[in-house]
Amino acid sequence: MNHDHHLSLFEPLTLGPITLANRVVMAPLTRMRADRPGDVPNALMAEYYRQRASAGLIISEGTQISPQGKGYMDTPGIHTDEQVAGWRRITGAVHAEGALIAAQLWHVGRVSHESFTGELPVSASAGPYRNRTTVRGADGSPTRVDCPIPRALRLDEIPGIVGDYRRAARNARDAGFDFAEIHAAHGYLLQQFLAADSNQRTDEYGGNLANRARLTLEVLDAVIEAWDASRVAIRISPIGAFNGLEDPEGAEMGLYLAEEIGRRRVAFLHLSEPDWAGGPVLDEDYRKQLRAAHPGPIVAAGNYTAEKATSLLQAGLIDAAAFGRAFIANPDLPRRLRESLPLNAPDQATFYGGGSAGYTDYPAWSA
Ligand code: FNR
């Protein structure tokens, strides 16, 4: 482990061929403001991301790899030419400010609703499932509904899912992103395969740890092959409950994945910690085990403050910290952290859906 008592959030970080100007990362944040029809990234989104370009790296909101991968109204996709063109405007606006941006590749699996495609959501297995998602209500506004019991993916459908990730990674590269981050966290499709409870399969994608990890690692390999390991990241949430899924073997699975991911020399492993969502604080021992399993760069998120990030950086346990809600409310978050300036408070009522209010109208600091 590399202890460095002088390391700060405001020093550069080299990830493969790319150097981040600082270690304050904007976490992936679903905001449900894409254009309909077509789930197309728009000019308002470009302005929102551009405002936050002082981050060392921006990670995009979850972006569906296929129509089937969509789980919430007005989330953007990265599977049509129109969507790629929309993202190209966004990556261009961010690059013009000298910043970097990753695309988060997303398939929600069972966290979805038949109103999006006219078909049942898919998952590892067709088990009972209690969770809610957000669809367009009769009056057009966001409405919370129960997710139906999903349909189990057939074995012969799995190559198509891997292919959708591969196409999405190529699209991300073509749209001008700097990295592709695979979303294998928060109880969405890949974690539905990883977790013992949600995966009851008896084929080679279910059963033991290696079988349950097979889809995630096939996706990782496909995305690496489509682009380059140095341009690929993956987000996991091994501990805690998200979207009605808590893996009793999550700690073990997290370490297994960290080792497999580390072996592939990806740009970074992104750890989503559970305490911001009602879960436990990640313990120091587990951090050390993750670090030992994954010697490459680790970005971590979840209830971070500058102080917590700095102490974990200096202990050699993380390499950068991602901030979610603080970045929603503070477009100039790196400066505010660096100068210990007060933070704007985020307004939860405008997190999901709507227009510029609570999206592009949070002010930067002015004395
Ligand atoms: C999130 N989070 C999230 N995570 C992810 O991997 N993909 C996503 O699309 C989203 N969307 C999202 C939307 C909103 C409104 C919130 C608040 C959170 C989780 C996020 O990346 C981060 O892990 C948490 O917000 C915890 O970090 P903070 O907010 O405590 O810094």
- Structural domains present in the chain: 13-350 (3.20.20.70)
Residue 49 bears catalytic tag: no
Please, which contacts does 132-138 make with residues 24 or more away whose CB atoms are closer than 8 Å? Answer: 133/71, 133/72, 133/108, 134/32, 134/72, 134/73, 134/352, 134/353, 135/72, 135/73, 136/73, 136/74
| Candidate list 48, 72, 188, 304, residue with the active-site label | 188
Global pTM reads: 0.98
Task: Tell me if 104 CB under 6 Å of ligand 1.
Answer: yes
Residues of the chain whose pLDDT is less than 50?
A: none
Question: If you count them, how many residues does the chain have?
Answer: 367
Q: Are strands 122-123 and 268-272 parallel, antiparallel or unpaired?
A: unpaired
Let me know: does 179 contact 103? Beta carbons within 8 Å.
Answer: yes
For ligand 1, what atom is nearest to the CA of residue 104? Answer: 7
Mutate to test the pocket of ligand 1, among 9, 24, 25, 30 (most ligand atoms within 8 A of CB): 30
Q: In this structure, what DSSP letter does residue 335 have?
A: H
pLDDT of residue 203: 98
Task: Tell me if 27 CB under 6 Å of ligand 1.
Answer: yes
d(CA 14, CA 122): 38
Task: Tell me if 111 CB under 6 Å of ligand 1.
Answer: no
pLDDT of residue 2: 63
> Is the N-terminal amide bond of 37 cis, ω within 30° of 0?
yes
**Residue 232: partners with Cβ closer than 8 Å, 6 or more residues away:** 169, 179, 180, 181, 182, 220, 223, 224, 264, 266, 267
